[in-house]
Structure 1
Amino acid sequence: MLPDIVAPGLSVLFCGINPGLLSAQLGQHFARPGNRFWPALHLSGFTPRQLKPSEQHELLGYGLGITNMVARPTARASELTGQEFVQGAEILTKLAGKYRPQTVAVVGVTAYRAGFARPKATIGPQPETLGPSKLWVLPNPSGLNAHYLLPALADEFRKLRLSVLD
């Protein structure tokens, strides 16, 4: 099990889809070298330098946290079932209610659509909330997501950061 990096009152709680095999092995979120989460986080201005996966606990000092929608590690997110996404959305809702982050950012529109039964959801702010938290959807930072190159991915993260500052 990959540990949640969470505390009360965060600005943003990022929610990945599920741990990859390397992340699960190392106990570090977004651990695969080709994953663009950490570079996008830095380039968007959330962190003053690019953190390494091994420095994930430093997120709390920036008012950020991280969890996953589904706890089960897989080589690809496509190996997950619809039921796992629905159960993960229920768990995420409870987590948001307990820790009350300002915003929950689901990192992967497909996971958000499946988990929350929102088949037409798009990237960006969502009209509903997750308990007391605003809800935002970001693109999947996996290197397998060819729809977003790093500059475009960082721009989407930047939009979230700017909304949190409002």
Structure 2
Amino acid sequence: MSVMTDARNLGEVWSRDELPTTGIPEPNEISSSLREINSVSRAFERRLGAVLAVNPTDLSAMEHLIQDGPLTPSDLAARLGVTTAASTLVVDRLAALGHVERHRHEHDRRKIVVVPTRASVNRAIDELMPVIMGVSRLVEELPESEREVIASFLTRVIDVYRTAVDAPLEGP
């Protein structure tokens, strides 16, 4: 067990002084920029949630519906990592706000699919397009050789995160 998860420390107040002081690389321009991108990205998601008047889970549901198309409540539950009952509540909230509609599945009339409304998608796109277009312009300005290096680096960073996400969870 690490110092941070040591069961003997459960009742004690944690102090920042307990952070390890050795073995951690010194911050550099790239790692600092990646942290800043992560932080600003989360702030942008909070802004988008505020614009759409939804909580983070509902925003995540909207992202899945916009990116992947109509989904059943069960499919949405699986993508959100929640129960079907919880996804029904998400859909109810989104429908009450006018963000989604329920429709019969085109091939299996017994099923219901959740579809984002055009107005909601347009509002989200209005917020997203300045960021999408801004990043696109930056990429277009780069020479091809730099694009390749950056793309390779970012793919490797993504792999580091995926490895961490897929690692087995340690028990308490």
TM bracket (short chain) = under 0.3
TM-score by length of 1: 0.22
Which protein, 1 or 2, shows the higher relative CO under an 8 Å CA cutoff with sep ≥ 6? Answer: 1
- Structure number with greater Rg is 2
Instruction: Specify which structure has the higher proportion of strand.
Output: 1
